[in-house]
Homo-oligomer: A and B are copies of this chain.
Amino acid sequence: MRVTAECIPCYLKQAISTMRAAGIDDSRQQRLLEALFPVIAGLDDSKTPAENSSLVLFELYRLLGPDDPFREAKVRSNDLARTFLPALEKVIAFNADPLLTALKVSVAGNVIDMGIMPGFDVSASIQQELGRDFELCDEQPFRELLEKGGPLVVIGDNSGEIFFDFLLLAQLRSFTDDITYIVKGGPILNDATLEDAEAAGIPLLAKVVTTGSNYLGVIPELCSGALRSLIGDANLVLAKGQANYETLEGTSFAGDKTFFLLRAKCPVVAGHLGVRLGSSVLIRNRVNL
């Protein structure tokens, strides 16, 4: 999907979230935002919000220096998410439909987003997701592809959330033992990296591979040959979160074997999906012709 005018204030909001996480004082925040204006003015509006937002954040990270601003916040969100595991394991195991419940739990974790929703509440999110249906739900074709087995790719999103994905992976393992879980190649916002995957025990259930960069989402043109083959050879791809939707929806690279699992956290994505802001969806990719 392409950027809209509304994405521009949102780049700045994500930059503010980043600077807050880095402990930058307000006056310096204002100066740093202004330093991002030339980058924003130079963006290509035929690109996706996630790609453009990445370019703005790369410039901010360059200005802030080498430390990961979200390092501590990511550890805290992992620690927080971990506390929910024993209860959520039981919620999934004792539900009549453990797979659907694990999908809901996984999307509940998608609220852990320090870029555009820094005031998230994980506990409320879990209760909300377990108590409602997906607003759009392509569960039937998802199950059909899943039951065929074969290589499965899950594209992760945030730290913290990755612990909830562990519970989903445990369910997916009943269908195939060839699962690859994709994380970012470097720090960007609170997106999960190799470190987070290890903290969450993902390697016990899946092979972990990185996107090879720290761009938000997965940008087809920037994927390595290995990553292209991995996604190309998969029988089923499950991509989590807004950024993966922004970069992959409509592409023939993702194809109709890709399903997006996300909460619509901004009006631009909600509008593109045709759902209410704040609702969650499991939808199959429709390739743009």
Contact = CB atoms under 8 A, between A and B. Distances in A.
A46 to B, nearest CB: 10
Interface in A38-57: 38, 40-41, 45
Contacts of A120: none
Interface stretch (A22-30, A93-101, A159-167, A208-216): A22-30
Contacts of A19: 5
Interface stretch (A9-17, A79-87, A123-131, A199-207): A9-17
A67 to B, nearest CB: 19
Given A37-B40, A37-B41, A40-B37, A29 B12 contact: no
A19 to B, nearest CB: 7
Contacts of A30: 3-5, 8, 45
Contacts of A41: 34, 37
A91 interface: no
A194 to B, nearest CB: 32
Nearest to A3: B30
Nearest to A30: B5
A6 interface: yes
A40 B45 contact: no
Given A40-B37, A41-B37, A16 B26 contact: no
Nearest to A29: B5
Q: How many of these chains are in the complex? A: 2
Chain A at the B interface: SS class = helix
A27 B19 CA distance: 29
A270 interface: no
A3 B19 CA distance: 17
Contacts of A38: 37
A166 B40 CA distance: 45
A239 B147 CA distance: 65
A107 to B, nearest CB: 24
B8 A12 contact: yes
B10 A9 contact: yes
Contacts of A16: 5-6, 9
A34 to B, nearest CB: 4
Given A4-B30, A8-B34, 8 more contacts: A4-B26, A5-B19, A5-B29, A5-B30, A9-B9, A9-B12, A9-B16, A37-B37
